[in-house]
Amino acid sequence: MDQIAPATGRPSEQPSVNRLKIVHWICFGLFVAVLGLVVLKTVEPIRRPETIHWPEAALVLLTATTTLISLSRQLPGQNVLLAAAVVALIGGGAQAIGAATAIPFGPYFYTEAAGPRLFGLLPCPVPLIWIIVILNARGVGRLMLRPWRKTRVYGFRLIGVTAALALIFDFGLEPFAVRVNDYWLWQRMKFPWDWYGAPVTNFVGWVVTALLILAFATPLLINKKPAKSPPPDYHPLIVWLLLNLLFVTAAFTHQLWLAAGFSAVAGIIVAAFAIRGARW
């Protein structure tokens, strides 16, 4: 057996798997710690200078990192990186076009608080935000649809649920970004309804962009050699709920009651369906 085992590659693979697991837990721990700092910074805004934004920037970077590392434990690393590049390119490109032309989201502009710009137009965190949203929403969708994973229309259902979860995430993100931190500002439109400044076109643009991203990224995120019965991965749900908790806390602190209520109810419903699906 000692001679056969090296031929399978398992002994050499095991240390790398263990190292990846350790790195993942370290990054996840840092993510939780920085998230706690951002929550405290949101709750106690009077004690901080308005120009200090590094905790939010660190949170975006750590969230994207722990998301990609977690996914790399299930898929080949090159697939994960290529999928992340596709998400960042399409999502970031759509936001850059939107900032320049108001298409497809509506008229808005980024403030200095959003961070340094790529090509003088797109804030650096924006492509990472799309990676966070799409990959974690897809992970949550997989939990919710786990009982139907062997059906013929599972892939289309997963794309639809992922786009819906991305839309729900944006409903929590907009008040946090616009009313709490002033990362971007919306110009008024003639639509009779908006969500804390964000027009209806913004949410239509989010769904369309999410569907376009998934059309190109999904083939890279399919495990070509799946295990017979892979265990459910709760990491995307935990990340999604923790970020949702940040939105609820920020909205509640700034008396944005409708936003706080929506994000709280959405988080409970999504968690219930995801846990139910994972335990099916």
pLDDT score recorded for residue 224:
78
Cβ neighbour number for residue 248 with a 10 Å cutoff: 22
pLDDT score recorded for residue 3:
43
The pLDDT-based confidence of 14 (bands split at 50, 70, 90) is low
pLDDT digits (tens, 9 = 90+) for 228-269: 667 899 999 999 999 999 999 999 999 999 999 999 999 999
Residue % of the chain over a pLDDT of 70: 90
Does the pLDDT at position 41 exceed 90?
A: no
**What does the pLDDT average to over 141-149?**
95
**What does the pLDDT average to over 185-203?**
89
Q: Which of 131, 132, 141 is nearest to 162 (CA)?
A: 141
pLDDT digits (tens, 9 = 90+) for 95-115: 999 999 999 999 999 999 898
**What is the identity of the amino acid at 280?**
W
Give every CB contact of residue 54 below 8 A, 6+ residues apart in sequence: none
Does the pLDDT at position 12 exceed 90?
A: no
Does the pLDDT at position 167 exceed 70?
A: yes
Give every CB contact of residue 212 below 8 A, 6+ residues apart in sequence: 90, 94
pLDDT digits (tens, 9 = 90+) for 59-76: 999 999 999 999 998 899
Residue 44 sits in which domain range?
4-278
The lowest-confidence range among 23-27, 153-157, 174-178 is 23-27
pLDDT score recorded for residue 192:
77
**What does the pLDDT average to over 21-26?**
88
Strands 194-195 and 198-199, sheet pairing: antiparallel
The pLDDT-based confidence of 4 (bands split at 50, 70, 90) is very low
Domain count, the chain: 1
The lowest-confidence range among 3-7, 109-113, 211-215, 222-226 is 3-7
pLDDT score recorded for residue 104:
92
pLDDT score recorded for residue 228:
67
CA–CA distance from 20 to each of 12, 92, 232 (Å)? 13, 28, 18
pLDDT score recorded for residue 52:
60
